């Protein structure tokens, strides 16, 4: 048996509009946490705690005499001393002020949280479409339709395509340099952190392999999106069954930073290999305690999967990041709000970039890079389930969805 279809020719001009949204982590982010995280014994509780933690770790190694005839417990080998010196110099230059620091040198940047290329116009840089390390999450809605000779959208020709990706997280430079220096100085190989899991960067159910030992990249996990079918509306925003003035769309997407899927990779368990590496350092009699402590702190900060939040890595507490686009694109080339609702809603983190030229005319906030909804790190200071409950196929935990006209 065969199905039959009817094709009705229409006259008009094919139009395709694209709306992009990108989330970025600013190097100027204030990393002070809120209670109860602020009271947890972790360097991530405040900016000052991070600063003091880094200076103490590095100074303890730098203060040791330099070994000249091979490793010994009463001296530090030259490469790890150089790695700690480099890290310390960066920490001192960054200071603790989230905004008063040299460009590209802040706490957020030495932790490798920050996306350092900040857009400055309403034209989205092509980098965001080619480099998963340049953003945290990004979404693209493509609306297409046929416009007739009266300047209206032909009913039934409206169509929407929704795309989204979650970007990469990067291990800090001091972590990768510590792995390399210890391997060269003490002959203890860096841990193999390779793991394979689903939905890395893209929510498609496919498994991909991450190799952070080679490049420091921890791909973020993309969650299932929520997108509604486009609705044709008139100039007043009311749904119409005939020809219309605008197409209304609604799309929510997001995911999790790369630490979460890595810490939840229970098959390959890369965190166990870092734990074994840390234990090897502690049992090496020719390694000073100050150097072994660097390895222990790297493990505790980034890889410790203890399910009790105050004992494991606080990155296990990182909530999903998401944003929602709710708008109309119109045959006259304009972009409009749906019933006065925000064009863009988002989670507390990170900053939001909406590259559209007429945002101010719609009452939207405008920053030097057009629309930027500032991140709120302090709002993240809440204890949540660990990565053991953060597995492939996870859907977004979102506020109640807003509706399109007529839906």
Is-contact 249 141, C-beta < 8 A? yes
Query: 401: which residues sit within 8 A by CB, 6+ positions away?
Result: 226, 250, 252, 324
* Residue 160 included in any domain: yes
Residue ranges in the chain whose pLDDT is less than 70: 1, 34-39, 309-310, 349, 357-407
Range of the domain at 361: 13-389
* Residue 6 included in any domain: no
* Residue 77 included in any domain: yes
Tokens 């395509």 appear where? 161
3-class DSSP state of 392: coil
Calpha distance 247→238 (Å, rounded)? 11
Q: Which residues of 348-372 are buried (b: 16+ CB within 10 A; e: fewer)?
A: ebbbbbbbbeebeebebeeeebbbb
**What distance separates the 2 farthest-apart alpha carbons in the chain?**
86
Tokens 């990768």 appear where? 176
Is-contact 74 66, C-beta < 8 A? no
Q: Name the burial class of residue 223, with classes exposed (0-12), middle (13-18) and buried (19+) by CB atoms within 10 angstroms of its CB.
A: buried
* Residue 180 included in any domain: yes
> How far is CA 380 from each of CA 144, 176, 269, 318, 344, rounded to the nearest angstrom?
38, 27, 26, 8, 20
Query: 122: which residues sit within 8 A by CB, 6+ positions away?
Result: 355, 356, 357, 359, 370
Picking from 170, 220, 182, 169, the residue whose alpha carbon sits closest to that of residue 296 is: 182
* Residue 113 included in any domain: yes
Q: Which two tokens stand for residue 364?
A: 């939207």
Calpha distance 24→117 (Å, rounded)? 9
> How far is CA 312 from each of CA 172, 281, 301, 381, 385, rounded to the nearest angstrom?
18, 20, 8, 15, 11
Picking from 406, 244, 382, 204, the residue whose alpha carbon sits closest to that of residue 397 is: 382
Calpha distance 249→246 (Å, rounded)? 10
* Residue 8 included in any domain: no
pLDDT for 30: 81
Q: Which two tokens stand for residue 252?
A: 């929510």
Picking from 313, 127, 126, 292, the residue whose alpha carbon sits closest to that of residue 218 is: 313
Calpha distance 96→235 (Å, rounded)? 51
Calpha distance 250→260 (Å, rounded)? 27
Q: What is the DSSP letter of 353?
A: E
Number of domains in the chain: 1
Calpha distance 220→52 (Å, rounded)? 29
* Residue 3 included in any domain: no
Calpha distance 12→10 (Å, rounded)? 7
Picking from 383, 346, 353, the residue whose alpha carbon sits closest to that of residue 370 is: 353
DSSP codes of every residue in 154-186? PTT--EEEEEEEE-EEE--HHHHHHHHHHHHHH
pTM (2 d.p.): 0.86
Picking from 312, 214, 302, 296, the residue whose alpha carbon sits closest to that of residue 258 is: 302
DSSP codes of every residue in 239-296? B-SS-BSEEEEEEEEEEE-THHHHHT-TTT-HHHHHHHHHHHHHH-TTS-HHHHHHHH
pLDDT for 126: 86
Is-contact 167 156, C-beta < 8 A? no
pLDDT for 374: 44
* Residue 404 included in any domain: no
DSSP codes of every residue in 275-290? HHHHHHHHH-TTS-HH
């Amino acid at each position: 048996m065969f199905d039959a279809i009817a094709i009705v020719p229409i006259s008009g001009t094919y139009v395709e509009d694209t709306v992009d949204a990108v989330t970025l982590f600013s190097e100027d982010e204030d990393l002070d946490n809120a209670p109860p995280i602020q009271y947890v014994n972790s360097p991530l509780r405040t900016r000052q705690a991070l600063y003091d933690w880094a200076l103490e770790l590095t100074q303890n190694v730098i203060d040791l005499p330099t070994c000249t005839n091979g490793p010994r417990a009463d001296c530090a080998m030259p490469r790890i001393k150089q790695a700690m010196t480099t890290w310390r110099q960066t920490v001192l230059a960054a200071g603790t002020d989230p905004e008063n620091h040299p460009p590209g040198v802040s706490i957020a940047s030495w932790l490798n949280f920050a996306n350092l290329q900040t857009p400055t116009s309403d034209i989205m840089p092509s980098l965001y479409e080619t480099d998963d390390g340049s953003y945290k999450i990004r979404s693209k809605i493509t609306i297409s339709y046929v416009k007739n000779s009266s300047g209206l959208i032909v009913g039934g020709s409206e169509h929407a395509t929704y795309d989204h990706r979650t970007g990469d997280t990067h291990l800090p430079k001091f972590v990768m340099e510590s792995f390399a220096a210890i391997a060269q100085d003490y002959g203890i190989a860096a841990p193999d952190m390779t793991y394979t899991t689903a939905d890395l960067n893209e929510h498609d159910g496919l498994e991909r392999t991450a190799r952070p030992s080679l490049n420091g990249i921890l791909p973020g996990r993309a969650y299932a999106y929520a997108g509604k079918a486009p609705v044709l509306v008139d100039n007043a925003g009311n749904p119409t069954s005939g020809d219309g003035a605008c197409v209304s769309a609604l799309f929510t997407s997001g995911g999790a930073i790369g630490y979460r899927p890595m810490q939840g990779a229970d098959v390959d368990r890369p965190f166990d290999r870092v734990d074994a590496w840390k234990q090897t350092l502690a049992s090496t009699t020719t390694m000073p305690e100050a150097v072994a402590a660097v390895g222990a702190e790297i493990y505790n900060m980034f890889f410790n999967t203890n399910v009790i939040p105050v004992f494991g890595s606080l990155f296990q507490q990182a909530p999903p990041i998401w944003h929602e686009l709710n708008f109309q694109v119109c045959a006259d080339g304009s972009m409009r709000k749906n019933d006065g609702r925000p064009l863009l809603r988002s989670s507390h983190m990170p900053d939001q970039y909406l590259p559209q030229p007429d945002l101010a005319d719609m009452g939207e906030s405008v920053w030097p890079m057009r629309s930027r909804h500032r991140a709120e790190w302090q709002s993240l200071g809440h204890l949540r389930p660990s990565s053991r409950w953060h597995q492939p196929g996870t859907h977004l935990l979102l506020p109640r969805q807003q509706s399109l006209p007529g839906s």
